[in-house]
Structure 1
Amino acid sequence: MTPIGISILQTLKYSDHFGFPLTLSEIHSRLVGARSSRPLLITAINQMLKSKTISQTGDYYHLPGHASLVARRLKRAKFCAPRLRLAQTLAIKLSHTPGILAIYLTGSLAMSNSSVNDDIDFMIIAHSHHLWTTRFLLTLYTTILGLRRTPNSPRSSGKLCLNLYLTPMSYALPNHKQSLYTAYELVQAIPLFDPHNTRASLFAANSWIRHYLPNFPPPKITPSTIYHLPSTINFFEKLAYRLQLLYMRPKLTREYVTQDSAFFHPHDPGTKVLRGLSLKGIPGCKPSRARRQAKGESSLEV
């Protein structure tokens, strides 16, 4: 199989993990670890269809024997439509909270692929040096309105889950957060509120995404992207950070928290996804040196 063919297969295999068949345009923009023109991609796909390496149902491509996923994708898209409208409405309401630069929809709902049990996941971009005061206000606001997901919320709640906070100071994700899973999450995130075009700056700061998804077209930086931020950390921000850290410390497991970022994923979904797939040999997926040294074998960095 050609390198492009391998990348096509692995791209479909990755999306199959989420029960999500892809269109031609989606395969092209999300092609894992390989750059390809659209004509070359079409040629490779046609060859793979003839050899029955992959299958096609209508406008969607998937692994052989998984045609039922097409109906599921269409059904979920219909189910997600009102939730997408709700997410947009909630984002507009939350955007009035002091300190917010942007609000992104992430997770399965951003792909119109969520089930009844899934939350509405938001990524919050706050002003530099204002993350923890912003988070305090958001937590207070969403709790009072009964919007926030809590440990006691029913599974089918459709509640808000504010699980990722960044600022312009933390756009560049740390090395241990750079993976195929994270790259997909970022390119699939939908900006529901982004008046300063933070998306362009976010992608510019994370050029490693091109290592995993070289075909994905990065958003263009515009003059509105440049935003003059406060240069000092005020007393309330320091206090908010220390108090929230003190409150969270007994509960922290694998969460990653700094003064300018907060990743609230106690069970790293990227690790779980990549462990569930046999992805060795995918172009663009780096082996983890630490894991190789620890186990004496090659595996993916997640």
Structure 2
Amino acid sequence: MLIFSEAAVLLTITYSDQFKFPLTKKEIAQRLIKISVTENKLGETLINLSKLNLIENKGGFWKLSKGTDQVKNRLRRANYSQQKWLEVDKLLSVIGWIPWIRGVAVTGSLAVDNVTVNDDIDLMLVVAPQRLWLSRVLVSLSSLWVGKRRTWQGNEENSWCFNLWLDDKHLGLPKNKRNLYSAYEVCQTKWMLDKAGIEKKFYQNNYWVKNLLPNYFNSKLIGASKIIEAEKSGYESAPILRFIGRKILSILDFLTFSIQYFYMYSHMSREKVSLSNAYFHPRSTKGQIYEKWFSSLKQIQSQDRRVVLVTGVFDLFHQEHQNFLRKAKLEGDLLVVGIETDDRVKKNKGLSRPIDDQQKRLQQLQLFPVVDLAFILPEKFDTAQEHLALLKLIKPQVLAVSSHTPYLEEKQRLMKKVGGEARVVYRQNPDISTTRLTKLT
């Protein structure tokens, strides 16, 4: 359904707008929320949204219309990011010696090449079980040694921010963190160190992301590979010594956690820590992004444009169809037309119909001058609930119908639920119809 692809594309572009991050066509296809579309369908959708003046293309990047010049901003930030990536190599050399680190991934703005000059480098570390807090001590000391440790005050610029820690037995995000913001963060991670196939395990343990970002998640899961393999030592101690050593280190890790938790407690706000994970995000970034996102969507919806919706078959697109649509257009600023699927037409009008298939009918309507947007109606479109769902999605002020429309009272009732009205805008000439035209041929 074209209308739902347009809603998904608009949601996707609007979400990225909060980060001043315009998207290429390929990036939109990858980042689409909840649906997948073909390349041709995406192209049609972008053109339709552009005609409605909701989005615009600047230098190959798609963004919301009437916004700031985000393309120059993105290119400038991409240049800043290249310098930051050089620092990641230094980071790996500083902490890579720690034996319990299984994986290191860049997250946040740098992961998508969208940093400012003084941004920190956000990182996720995966460590061996019962070694998280020992590893954190060693990482903190190592980054402090090179002047890159971020403190609780958070005033340091260009620091290394180790804000997410997981052990490799607890790679899945908890249910209370499974949302669209986290789904994008999962997919945007750039793995720089992988000692035991951690990258792939991370995506497998966060399979819930596929429900929100199917294309993005699939590309990450398929592309997951080992960046740097673990080096095996040529010497191994006796099993009993290894067992005793592991137990001692596990006890030390628990003691280290207790000491650090006691120290952190007075500083903590939104941070969540345990023996197996630590989420150091003192600011509600997700909340801020959602607030901006909803604000942008409301601005789009509040634009002073009166939407008129028309639905029908429009087979053998004849003069009466065209006269009706011209009258409907006079009722508002945007004329949106939904056409019935071939299967529904056969079901309602007989196996000999439609004469023109749905793609041809759709193309004819899209080329008709007064039509701003045309789409194919859902295959399941029989019940009042299904009709109401479509009305809530489009939010038309007017449902334009002709004098011969059936169930007018029911249509008026449904339109009242979305704050609009069903209105007869054209008295049809009974001598001209698709049925009569087919009998003449």
TM over 0.5: yes
TM-score w.r.t. length of structure 2: 0.59
The structural deviation recorded for 1:114 is: 1.0
- Asked if the contact 1:80/1:113 (under 8 Å) is kept, the reply is yes
Quote the offset at 1:66 in angstroms.
2.9
Shift of residue 268, structure 1, vs aligned partner: 2.0
| Residue 15 (structure 1) shift | 0.4
Partner of 1:104: 105
Match for residue 260 of structure 1? 276
Residue in structure 1 matched with residue 385 of structure 2 by the alignment: none
The answer to whether the aligner puts 1:167 opposite 2:183 as a matched pair is no
User: Tell me, what secondary structure is at the counterpart of 2:7?
Assistant: helix
Q: Write the distance in 2 (CA, Å) between the matches of 1:67 and 1:132.
A: 44
Structure 1 partner of 2:183? 183
Measured in 1, the distance between the counterparts of 2:222 and 2:76 equals 33
SS at match of 1:276: helix
SS at match of 1:272: helix
The verdict on how the C-alpha distance between 1:104 and 1:52 changes in structure 2, with shifts beyond 3 A counting, is: same
Partner AA of 1:186 in structure 2: V
- Displacement of 1:271: 1.6
Deviations 1:86-109 (A, max 9, x none): 123212331211210111111111
**Structure 1 residues 94, 67: closer, same or farther in 2, change over 3 A?**
same
Amino acid at match of 1:74: L
Structure 1 residues 130 and 151 mapped into 2: Cα distance closer, same or farther (>3 Å)? closer
Paired with 1:192 and 1:29, the residues of 2 have a C-alpha distance of 22
Matching residue within 289, 292, 307 for 1:276: 292
Higher RCO (CA-CA < 8 Å; seq separation 6+): 1
Q: Give the drift of 1:59.
A: 1.4
Contact 1:11/1:27 (CA < 8 Å) preserved in 2? yes
SS at match of 1:103: strand
Q: Which amino acid aligns with 1:46?
A: I
CA distance in 2, matches of 1:223, 1:104: 13
Counterpart in the other structure of 1:94: 95
Shift of 1:221: 8.7
Could you tell me how far apart the structure 1 residues matched to 2:78 and 2:130 are? 38
In structure 1, the partner of 2:200 is: 200
Contact 1:126 1:166 in 2 (8 A): yes
- The one-letter amino acid of 2:163's match is N
Dislocated runs of 4+, deviation >3 Å = 151-155, 220-225, 230-233
| Map of 2:253 onto structure 1 | 237
Asked whether the 8 Å contact 2:94–2:142 carries over to 1, the reply is no
Deviation of the 1:117 alpha carbon: 3.0
Measured in 1, the distance between the counterparts of 2:16 and 2:281 equals 21
State the 1:49 CA deviation: 2.2
Question: Which one-letter code corresponds to 1:141 in the other structure?
Answer: S
Which secondary structure does the structure 1 equivalent of 2:37 belong to? coil
Aligned equivalent of 1:120: 121
Matched to 1:239, the amino acid is L
- Aligned equivalent of 1:36: 37
Deviations 1:224-282 (A, max 9, x none): 79x9xx986722111111111111122222111111100001222112211222169xx
Kindly provide the CA deviation profile for residues 34-82 of structure 1, in whole angstroms up to 9, marking residues without a partner as x: 2223332222112222332211012111001236100110011112211
TM-score relative to the length of structure 1: 0.84
8 Å Cα contact 2:152/2:267 also seen in 1 = no
Query: CA, structure 1 residues 224+59, in 2 after alignment: closer, same or farther (shift >3 Å)?
Result: closer
Q: What is the rounded CA distance, in whole Å, between the counterparts of 1:12 and 1:111 in structure 2?
A: 15
Q: Describe how 1:204-215 pairs up with structure 2 within 5 A.
A: 204-215=204-215
Once residues 222 and 45 of structure 1 are traced to their aligned partners in structure 2, the CA distance between those partners, rounded to angstroms, is 30
Choose 1 or 2 for highest CA Rg: 2
Q: How many residues align?
A: 277
Partner of 2:146: 145
Output the CA distance in 2 between the equivalents of 1:239 and 1:59: 54
The CA deviation string for residues 6-30 of structure 1, in whole angstroms up to 9 with x for no partner, is 1110111010001000011111111
The separation in 1 between residues aligned to 2:24 and 2:115, in whole angstroms, is: 18
CA contact (8 A) 1:21 1:60 kept: yes
3-state SS of the aligned residue for 1:125? Answer: strand
Q: Which moved more, 1:47-56 or 1:121-130?
A: 47-56
CA distance in 2: counterparts of 1:153 and 1:166, whole angstroms: 22
**Matched position secondary structure for 1:193:** strand
Q: What residue ranges of structure 1 are gaps of 5+ in the alignment? A: 281-302
Per-residue deviation, 1:154: 4.4
Matched, 1:68 2:84: no
The AA in structure 1 aligned to 2:251 is F
- SS at the partner of 2:130? coil
Provide the rounded CA distance (Å) in 1 between the counterparts of 2:4 and 2:93: 44
| C-alpha displacement of 1:214 | 1.4
Q: Sort the Cα spacing of 1:204 and 1:153 in 2 relative to 1 into closer, same or farther, 3 A.
A: closer
Asked if the contact 1:57–1:67 (Cα under 8 Å) also holds between the matched residues in 2, the reply is: no
Task: Give the aligned residue type for 1:7.
Answer: A
What letter corresponds to residue 275 of structure 1 in structure 2?
Answer: E
**Structure 2 CA distance for aligned equivalents of residues 56 and 223 of structure 1:** 34
Task: Work out the CA distance in 1 between the residues paired with 2:224 and 2:188.
Answer: 20
CA-CA distance at 1:119 after TM superposition: 0.8
Q: Does the CA contact (< 8 Å) of 1:101 and 1:195 recur in 2? A: yes
Between the aligned partners of 1:31 and 1:223, the Cα distance in structure 2 is 24
